[in-house]
Structure 1
Amino acid sequence: MGGITKRMLVGSWGAPTNSITIRNGSLVQQKITYVRGKYKLAFIFNSSTNLDHISLLKR
């Protein structure tokens, strides 16, 4: 997704609310979550640190 990396996201938004590692066989992903007001944004990065997916949830 546009070459966005974890380092760029954390550099712009600061420390995440939550961060976990997701492992599924040989696939390893990092999920970084931010809570902003009424919304929770989850960013999932692949093992090469590039953004794979964004989820926006209303809390």
Structure 2
Amino acid sequence: MEISPKAPPTLLVHAMDDPSNDPRHAMAYTMALDKVGVPVDLRIFAEGCHAFGLRPASAP
């Protein structure tokens, strides 16, 4: 996949225990954006599963 330097500044938030998406994909995308000069910030949390912050959960 080719990453465009015209991509918007990007914030990626990911959980290590996400069963749907491997956190290495977010890391690879972050590095690809950085390589073409797109401002990018990646935040990785130990827990949160998938879509944390977007769905009801027992923990804050």
Common topology (TM > 0.5): no
Which structure has the larger Rg? 2
Greater relative contact order (Cα < 8 A, sep 6+): 2
TM-score w.r.t. the length of structure 2 is 0.24
Structure richer in strand, relative to its length: 1
Structure number with the higher helix fraction is 2
